[in-house]
């Protein structure tokens, strides 16, 4: 059985480009939206009617948490057992960023001991995920393949950027160089 989202609180971890778009979607269906990230600017959050809160407050107040964070040494394991338990047995977390942002062992413990309501994800520590991954068949998990970026528009951009990079390299002036 599903539940209404109107009147619920959506917590956004990472209020950048994607997080801001998800915040607007939550607001459009009547959700109260709060956000946290290590570099969150409260003024920018207020500009889109989002309340900036501390990390513990985000997990305590939210009914649903959506993660929009880049994976780095700083964000690996950013969400652990403490945060998941603050979200609680009725709380749900959505991760379409990177699996490693959530401590996977803590995630499974919380799902199994009913201290977390559920997870929706399309990211896994090993991709593509198969039936050997405990999350794929877990009764409290909505697991889909990591294909959210697979749209005609996105692939058009990817191919245009690749062609531009090849042409720039051929001309002896590489672009988007990673040192």
SS3 assignment for the chain? CCCCCCCCEEEEECCCHHHHHHHHHHHHCCCEEEEECCCCCHHHHHHCCCEECCHHHHHHHCCEEEECCCCCCCCCCCECHHHHHHHCCCCEEEECCCHHHECHHHHHHHHHCCCCCEEEECCCCCCCCCCCCCCCCCCCEEECCCCCCCCHHHHHHHHHHHHHHHHHHHCCCCCCCCC
Percent of the chain's residues with pLDDT above 70: 99
> What pLDDT, on a 0 to 100 scale, did the predictor assign at position 151?
84
pLDDT of residue 178: 79
Give me the mean pLDDT over the 126-147 stretch: 92
Which of the pair, 151 or 60, is modelled with greater confidence?
60
Q: Which candidate in 98, 100, 152, 153 is catalytic? A: 98
pLDDT of residue 117: 97
Of the candidates 46, 74, 76, 127, the residue annotated as catalytic is: 127
Among 3.40.720.10, 3.40.50.720, 3.40.140.10, 3.40.190.10, what is the CATH number of 9-148? 3.40.50.720
- The reported pLDDT for the residue numbered 175 is 92
Is 46 a catalytic site residue?
Answer: no
* Residue 76 appears among annotated catalytic residues: no
Identify which has the larger pLDDT, 157 or 107: 107
Residue of 146, 152, 167, 171 marked active site:
146
pLDDT tens digit sequence for 140-156: 999 998 887 778 888 89
146 catalytic residue (yes or no): yes
The fraction of the chain above a pLDDT of 90, given in percent, is: 84
């Amino acid at each position: 059985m599903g539940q209404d989202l109107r009147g619920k609180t959506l917590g956004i971890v990472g209020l950048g480009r994607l997080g801001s778009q998800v915040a607007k979607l939550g607001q459009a269906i009547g959700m109260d939206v709060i956000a946290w990230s290590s570099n969150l600017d409260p003024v920018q959050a207020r500009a889109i009617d989002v309340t900036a809160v501390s990390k513990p407050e985000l997990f305590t107040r939210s009914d649903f948490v959506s993660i929009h964070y880049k994976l780095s040494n700083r964000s690996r394991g950013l969400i652990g057992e403490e945060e998941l338990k603050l979200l609680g047995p009725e709380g749900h977390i959505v991760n379409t960023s990177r699996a490693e942002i959530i401590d996977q062992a803590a995630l499974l413990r919380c799902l199994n001991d009913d201290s977390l309501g559920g997870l929706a994800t399309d990211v896994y520590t090993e991709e593509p995920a198969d039936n050997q991954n405990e999350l794929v068949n877990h009764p409290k998990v909505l697991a889909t393949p990591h294909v959210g970026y697979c749209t005609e528009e996105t692939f058009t951009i990817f191919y245009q950027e690749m062609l531009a990079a090849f042409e720039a390299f051929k001309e002896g002036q590489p672009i988007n160089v990673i040192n």
